[in-house]
Amino acid sequence: MAPRKKRQHQADLEETSSTSKYFTKMVDDKSSTGNVSQFDPDLRLTATFYQKECIDLSRGLLGQNIIRTFDDGSQVCGKIVETEAYCGIEDDCCHSYNSRRTERTEAMFMSPGTLYVYTIYGMYSCMNISSSGDGCAVLIRALEPVSGLEQMQCARSQKNPSKPMKEKNLCNGPSKLCQALGISKETFNKQDLTSSQHIWLSGGEAVAPSEIGVSKRINLSADKGWVDKPLRFFIKNNPFVSVKSVK
DNA sequence: AGAGGGATCTTCT
DNA sequence: GAAGATCCCTCTC
């Protein structure tokens, strides 16, 4: 690796420590308990303390940059523009619902900042960040490409290299962004976002509450109790969000 | 823009 | 044996 690149890498790592305070704080608060009633009128739900932490993380991650560094030293970067909160053992849309703790869901019960990456529909990956609370995690649903766009193009167009993907479509979906960033269950499940040398958060811009849109989550079974809860968060008017209007 | 179907296979019942 | 936190292509409006 060239010296210049190395310095940049270390600078980014130092920035990581500022964003990892989310996760450190959560670990410190592990002993806290209690319910939070109507913590946010807009959300129209009553959350436990840990569910609130998960929602706060979902909102706080908006605007943060994800840096992905490959073994050859190359980097790609994307800004988080859409997330969903999965609120653990009481959330019947969550994989850890009813304390379902299996090999697959184990990462959701690990310390805040742990990545939960799983395979869906046999051919795609989804990436979550574990939050405080039993089985709570945040699904990363969309990124705005920031740098390394050619490399993302390459990763996203492998099946059809002759047809370059539009920039808007590189990372506007949970599995698209995993493809663009080269993230799979095999390589990243249970990895620690706050200490990994291959993926970390780098200081982005905080998003003002007035700029955060809220809706129900995407593509959940209609017969579940939590299906309509307002647990999806996105940057308003950002063209890289995956779904424009939710029914 | 939105609807519908096929691809594809791990996880859990 | 069926479901599933998806994507992409095609068809229609």
The model's confidence at residue A171, banded by pLDDT at 50, 70 and 90, is very high
What is the Cα–Cα distance from A216 to A225, expressed in whole angstroms?
Answer: 12
Q: Is A88 exposed, middle or buried (0-12, 13-18, 19+ CB in 10 A)?
A: buried
Q: Is the CB of A186 under 7 A from strand B?
A: no
pLDDT at A31: 38
Q: What is the DSSP letter of A134?
A: T
User: A120-142 burial string, b = 16+ CB within 10 Å, else e?
Assistant: eeeeebbbbbbbbbebbbbbbbb
Strand B: list positions under 7 Å from protein Cβ.
Answer: 1-2, 7-13
C-beta within 7 A of nucleic chain B, residues 201-220 of A:
none
The reply to whether A31 Cβ lies less than 7 angstroms from strand B is no
d(CA A218, CA A195): 30
What SS3 class is residue A147? strand
- Over range A173-187, report the average pLDDT: 97
- Report the percent of chain A where pLDDT is more than 90: 71
Read off the pLDDT of each residue in A227-240 and give the average, rounded to a whole number.
94
pLDDT of amino acid A166: 92
- pLDDT (average), residues A38-55: 68
Its pTM stands at 0.87
Given the structure tokens 């605007």, which residue do they identify?
A: A63
Name which residue leads in pLDDT, A24 or A94: A94
* Neighbour-count burial of A57, counting CB atoms closer than 10 A to its CB (0-12 exposed, 13-18 middle, 19+ buried): buried
pLDDT for A24 beyond 90: no
Q: Is the pLDDT of residue A9 over 50?
A: no
- Band the pLDDT of A42: cuts 50, 70, 90: very low
Nearest residue, CA→C1' of B8: A122
Three-state SS for A75? strand
Using the predicted structure, report yes or no on whether residue A120 has a pLDDT greater than 60: yes
Q: What is the pLDDT of residue A163?
A: 79
C1' (B12) to CA (A49) span, angstroms: 30
